[in-house]
């Protein structure tokens, strides 16, 4: 096990009706004026935004509204938000929505208190935000884990470039997690969320060569089996509270660092996927992951067959073939693919129906490898040619 530091300072408020106390919660921190950030309309349709506004008003909290965050959020709206926060002198940003809204809020929070730095420089790793406006969220979709994570992922629209970076400033002050708020999430987005939650743990589990992390492994395996079961239940019955609750809590745990503690990893499939939804913003992150993951796994599993075989045995109930662990590894990948299919999630790039062409593979691999200058470390180091091959296999 490697040395590690684990600090997840976000206050989690979990359960039915928890969002109704949002005014009281924010008043408790002493904030008097806030910005409420949301997406394309689901929070209006569900009545959640009205409930939030009523609660803020009843606690004397002034607020300005900024909606319109699109999935795979863009820098343009975040820049607008930064100006609005400064103009209105807000003290706090409340994100009400899924990962896209929360990430847009994080980007704004960094930008507001660092007026001399172009916010995109943070994503290009040319600058680091030393401070940020405090922010918190009411989560409406279990998927990204952004509600407690230290990541923020934004797309610079004109370049079709989607980039993320980690910073302690991205840990929200609080996350209000009411599983009931996800009852209205449709079948497709529920599937995308289930995939994304699994990927955050799987990429930690399979993403590096560290040995001897038995406790972290068992936590990861427990999370994966629970999420697969809950994902299937929520797919069949969207108002199954227990299933939605499992997905919501797992979403946070899967990306707050817990399931990779003590391990080396780089999330290679996430990096390959970000090129995809950066170029085609209509592609949902979880769908892009399910389209790529099994091809990536088949490409790299020969380099760590015992690791993949362990997953196959412990999570997918396969028998271990000690003579041929690659065979066992591949059977596990086949089972995972079958699971994605059972949720009607795409398992190839063609199924994304986004108009992806073979020429795109070169462009995406160029971007992902900085024109061949950068490789992605992992159980197998991936260079530009490997990336092209994985995209080709996934086609």
Interaction site with Zn ion (CB under 5 A): 196
Q: How many residues bind ligand NZQ (CB under 6 A)?
A: 36
In three state form, how does the secondary structure of 4-73 look? Answer: CCCCCCCEEEECCCHHHHHHHHHHHCCCCEEEEEECCCHHHHCCHHHHHHHHHHHCCCEEEEECCCCCCC
**DSSP letter for each residue of 101-135:** HHHHHHHHHHHHT-TTS-HHHHHTTS---S----E
What's the CA gap between 10 and 94, in Å, rounded?
14
Residue 196 vs 337, nearer CB to Zn ion: 196
Residue range at the interface with ligand NZQ (CB under 6 A); choices 19-27, 150-158, 294-302, 333-341: 150-158
Q: Which does 197 bind (CB under 5 to 8 A by kind): ligand NZQ, Zn ion, none?
A: none
What's the CA gap between 36 and 31, in Å, rounded?
13
115 burial class (0-12, 13-18, 19+ CB within 10 angstroms)? exposed
Which of residues 136, 145, 179, 325 is near ligand NZQ by CB under 6 A? 145
Residues 41-80 interacting with ligand NZQ (rule: CB under 6 A): 41-43, 71-73
Residue 73 vs 305, nearer CB to Zn ion: 73
Residue range at the interface with ligand NZQ (CB under 6 A); choices 52-60, 138-146, 224-232, 322-330: 138-146
What's the CA gap between 78 and 153, in Å, rounded?
12
Residue 196 vs 386, nearer CB to Zn ion: 196
Which of residues 55, 91, 114, 140 is near ligand NZQ by CB under 6 A? 140
Residues 277-306 interacting with ligand NZQ (rule: CB under 6 A): 285-286
Least Cβ distance, residue 198 to ligand NZQ (angstroms): 11
Which of residues 25, 108, 112, 153 is near ligand NZQ by CB under 6 A? 153
Cα dihedral across residues 359, 366, 287, 218: positive or negative:
positive
Least Cβ distance, residue 153 to Zn ion (angstroms): 8
Structure tokens at 81: 């938000």
What are φ and ψ of residue 53, in 5° steps? -60, -45
Which of residues 8, 27, 32, 40 is near ligand NZQ by CB under 6 A? 40
Contact 163/203 with Cβ under 8 angstroms? no
Residue 161 vs 329, nearer CB to ligand NZQ: 161
Residue 193 vs 325, nearer CB to Zn ion: 193
Check binding of 39 to ligand NZQ (CB under 6 A): yes
Residue 277 vs 328, nearer CB to ligand NZQ: 277
What are φ and ψ of residue 264, in 5° steps? -85, 135
Residues 229-268 interacting with ligand NZQ (rule: CB under 6 A): 255
Interface map 181-220 toward ligand NZQ (x if CB under 6 A): xx-xx---x--xx--x------------------------
What are φ and ψ of residue 143, in 5° steps? -170, -75
Residue 255 vs 298, nearer CB to ligand NZQ: 255
Which of residues 23, 81, 99, 305 is near ligand NZQ by CB under 6 A? 99
Contact 298/269 with Cβ under 8 angstroms? no
Q: Which does 55 bind (CB under 5 to 8 A by kind): Zn ion, ligand NZQ, none?
A: none
Residue 165 vs 299, nearer CB to ligand NZQ: 165
Centroid of chain to Cα 296: 18
Q: Which does 254 bind (CB under 5 to 8 A by kind): Zn ion, ligand NZQ, none?
A: none
| Beta-carbon contacts of residue 28 (< 8 Å; ≥ 6 apart) | none
What's the CA gap between 226 and 251, in Å, rounded?
11
What's the CA gap between 172 and 18, in Å, rounded?
17
Best CA proximity match to 265, nearest among 183, 118, 144, 379: 379
Q: Which does 72 bind (CB under 5 to 8 A by kind): ligand NZQ, Zn ion, none?
A: ligand NZQ
What does the binding site for ligand NZQ look like in residue numbers (CB under 6 A)?
A: 39-43, 71-73, 97-101, 103, 140-141, 143-146, 149, 151-153, 181-182, 184-185, 189, 192-193, 196, 255, 270, 285-286
């Amino acid at each position: 096990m490697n040395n590690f530091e684990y600090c997840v300072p976000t206050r989690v408020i979990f359960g039915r009706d928890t969002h109704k106390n949002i005014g009281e919660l924010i008043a408790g921190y002493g904030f008097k004026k806030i910005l409420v950030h949301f997406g394309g309309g689901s929070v209006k349709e569900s009545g959640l935004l009205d409930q939030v506004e009523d609660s803020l008003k009843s606690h004397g909290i002034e607020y300005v509204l900024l909606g319109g965050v699109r999935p795979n959020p863009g820098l343009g709206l975040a820049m607008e938000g930064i100006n609005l926060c400064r103009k209105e002198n807000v003290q706090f940003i409340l994100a009400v929505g899924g990962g896209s809204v929360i990430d847009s809020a994080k980007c704004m929070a960094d930008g507001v208190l660092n007026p001399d730095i172009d916010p995109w420089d943070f994503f290009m790793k040319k600058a680091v935000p030393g401070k940020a406006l405090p922010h918190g969220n009411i989560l409406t979709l279990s998927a990204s884990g952004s509600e407690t994570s230290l990541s923020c992922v934004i797309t610079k629209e004109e370049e079709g470039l989607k980039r993320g970076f980690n910073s302690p400033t991205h840990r929200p002050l609080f996350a209000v997690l009411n599983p009931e708020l996800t009852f209205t999430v449709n079948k497709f987005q529920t599937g995308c969320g289930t995939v994304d939650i699994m990927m955050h743990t799987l990429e930690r589990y399979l993403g590096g060569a560290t040995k001897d992390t038995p406790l972290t492994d068992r936590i990861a395996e427990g999370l994966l089996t629970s999420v697969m079961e809950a994902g299937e239940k929520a797919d069949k019955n969207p108002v199954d509270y227990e299933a939605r609750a499992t997905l919501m809590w797992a979403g946070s745990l899967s990306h707050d660092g817990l399931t990779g503690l003590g391990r080396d990893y780089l999330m290679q499939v996430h990096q390959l996927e970000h090129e995809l939804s950066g170029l085609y913003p209509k592609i949902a992150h979880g769908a892009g992951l399910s389209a790529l993951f099994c091809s990536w796994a088949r490409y790299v599993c020969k380099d760590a067959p015992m690791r993949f075989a362990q997953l196959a045995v412990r999570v997918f109930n396969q028998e271990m073939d000690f003579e041929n662990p690659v065979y066992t590894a591949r059977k596990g990948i086949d089972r995972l693919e079958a699971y994605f299919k059972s949720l009607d999630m795409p398992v190839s790039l063609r199924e994304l129906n986004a108009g992806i062409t073979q020429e795109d593979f070169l462009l995406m691999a160029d971007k992902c490898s900085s024109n061949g200058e950068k490789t992605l470390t992992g159980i197998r180091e991936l260079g530009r040619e490997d990336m092209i091959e994985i995209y080709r296999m996934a086609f």
